[in-house]
Amino acid sequence: MDMKTTSLPLSDQLLEAIEERIVTGAYPPGTRLDEVDLAKVFEVSRTPIREALIRLETMRIIEKVPRKGWVVTPISPQSLCEMFEFISELEALCGLFAARRATPFQIQQLLSAHEACRDVDDPDAYYRANEGFHKALYAAAGNSYLLEQLTEMQRRARPYRRLQLRAPERIKASFAEHEAIVAAVLARDEGAAAERLREHVMLQGDRFNRLLQSLEGFGRAGR
């Protein structure tokens, strides 16, 4: 990420930059993340670095270890699969509720968020637009407990969802999946909306294998 051209707040820029290095293997599992060292690397003060690390800890991407400080948390392929499996079911429920009860205003917000994803080629820019699309769906679902769970899980899955968007043709496929989701919600087809969301989020077959290969490949490159 180019920290000189993005309009994101500094703490967000640092979060994405550190997150990027973790997922791509530059900071493999077990790596100690020292505030002073990171401040030198990114040429910033320790305060925004600390803010970024605290947020990464809430996402469970790093953890605070006694006498070591922040350390990159390992994640197994099974844990990754289970996490996306859980998120896919939450999102499916969200699609069902959105198709059942979305108001005209919420439908318009969903359409606007969908259009914001159109013709976006950069993976990180698309990820942010994609977040807006899913947040519009969460709002349309109208369930605060579901929103709370989805928000927490999205934080934890964020780096892996960003990484999978770098697979060839994934952005194009994701937008097409959004089209099908929107169509189901507009048609008030609860079953179809739930199934389209489940398919959109769930990492299966080739998609899961590609993600694991990306993690392994970047990890080797980072060592």
Predicted confidence (pLDDT) per residue in 3-18, tens digit: 554 677 898 899 989 9
Q: For residue 137, give both structure tokens.
A: 């769906």
**Domain spanning 77-218: which superfamily?**
GntR ligand-binding domain-like (1.20.120.530)
Among 61-75, 122-136, 156-170, 176-190, the range of highest mean pLDDT: 176-190
Q: According to the model, what pLDDT value does residue 171 have?
A: 93
Q: How confident is the model at residue 121 (pLDDT cuts 50, 70, 90)?
A: very high
- Section 177-189 average pLDDT: 98
Predicted confidence (pLDDT) per residue in 53-110, tens digit: 999 998 888 999 888 899 998 778 888 888 889 999 999 999 999 999 999 999 999 9
Domain residue spans of the chain: 10-72, 77-218
Contact yes or no for 14/44 (Cβ under 8 A) = yes
Q: According to the model, what pLDDT value does residue 88 have?
A: 93
Fold type of domain 10-72 = Arc Repressor Mutant, subunit A (1.10.10)
pTM for this predicted structure: 0.75
DSSP string, the chain: --TTT--S-HHHHHHHHHHHHHHTTSS-TT-EE-HHHHHHHHTS-HHHHHHHHHHHHHTTSEEEETTTEEEEPP--HHHHHHHHHHHHHHHHHHHHHHHHH--HHHHHHHHHHHHHTTT--SHHHHHHHHHHHHHHHHHHHT-HHHHHHHHHHHHHHHHHHHHHTTSTTHHHHHHHHHHHHHHHHHTT-HHHHHHHHHHHH---HHHHHHHHHHHHHHHHHH-
Q: At what angle do helices 144-164 and 205-222 cross, to 10 degrees?
A: 60
Q: Do domains 10-72 and 77-218 have the same CATH topology?
A: no
